[in-house]
Amino acid sequence: MRLDITKVCAQTVTKRLSILGAAILLTTAAAEARDYRPALPVAANFTYDPANEVDVELVLAVDISQSMDTEEQEIQRAGYVAALTSREFLDAIQVGPIGRVAVTYMEWGGVDEHFIVADWTIVQDSTSASHFASKIAEAPLRQVQRTSIASALQKSVELVETNQYMGLRRVIDISGDGPNNQGGSVTEMRDRMIAAGVTINGLPLMMKSNKNTWQAMLNLDHYYEDCVIGGPGSFAIPVRSKEGFADAIRMKLVLEIAGLHLNEPDPYFQRVSAREPVRCNLFD
């Protein structure tokens, strides 16, 4: 009989403890529900604006190092202005599904020497193209001493990642007349920037390549192909004469905007596998 009482007591205590535990859980749950604040996802801070949709986000990164004399800088500026307002460029914009692009024009030299000549602008017709080109044409010329392609690439991608536009493609168009000589490894920086989702195209300026001067680098086009450009559909078009500058820029912009590729063989292109690779770190 004593054992039965003990058993009943144990059952009663267990039942009461269970009820008490349930009450505590319900009270805690109610308090947590009262105090619950849902964590806002990162996407909640994102505001979609269809007006910011573009086919291409394009950075025109232009070399203004000391090796570019005043005449060459003027030719370079005039080439970009002519290309940006050309019928071919405007027609290429209309090929895209959205029919407009976002462009910025940045001049660069040594490490952290970056000058935004024309800030991000949507170009979709002759009026907007002329407005953007006029900013380039009217800006004063600058000249700096060093050539940091690595720093220019990093800054260009920063401009792409911090702008307000949403492009189907993101392209860095970098021009220069010499190798990287400041700012660390150009190939390491290139690879990091490509990993960020951009395509890097090159415009190696070889107008002095037939002269025996410290300013000239033989086979600069090979250097750009091996050490600078990269990403889906990347290419480089060398400029070998002042007369051909505007044509080269126009062709390059059309290919970048329309996302086209020239069929081989073409005088502007050659297969990298047909020559010895360039030592990219020779000047770093």
pLDDT score for 217: 65
What one-character-per-residue DSSP string does the chain give? -HHHHHHHHHHHHHHHHHHHHHHHHHHHHHHHHHH--PPPPGGGG----GGGEEEEEEEEEEE-BTTS-HHHHHHHHHHHHHHHTSHHHHHHHHHSSS--EEEEEEEE-STT-EEEEEEEEEE-SHHHHHHHHHHHHHSPP--BS---HHHHHHHHHHHHHHSS-EEEEEEEEEEESS---SSS-HHHHHHHHHHTT-EEEEEEB-TTTTS-STT--TTHHHHIIIII-BSTT--B--B-SSTTHHHHHHHHHHHHHHT--PPSS-TT---GGGSPPP-GGG--
265 pLDDT above the threshold of 90: no
The domain segmentation of the chain, as residue ranges, is: 2-37, 50-282
**Residue 216's pLDDT band (boundaries 50, 70, 90)?**
low
Q: Which residue has the higher pLDDT, 244 or 150?
A: 150
Classify domain 50-282 by CATH architecture: 3-Layer(aba) Sandwich (3.40)
Summarize the confidence of residues 31-36 as an average pLDDT: 42
pLDDT score for 10: 43
Nearest to 56 by CA among 194, 192, 198, 190: 198
- Return the structure tokens found at 96: 């895209």
**Residue 168's pLDDT band (boundaries 50, 70, 90)?**
very high
20 pLDDT above the threshold of 50: no
Q: Which residue has the higher pLDDT, 258 or 152?
A: 152
Q: Which residue has the higher pLDDT, 12 or 250?
A: 250
Residues 40, 46, 48, 54, Cα dihedral to 10°: -150
pLDDT score for 70: 87
Percent of the chain with pLDDT over 90: 58
Contact 109, 62 (CB under 8 A): no
Give the tens place of pLDDT for each residue, 118-133: 999 999 999 999 999 9
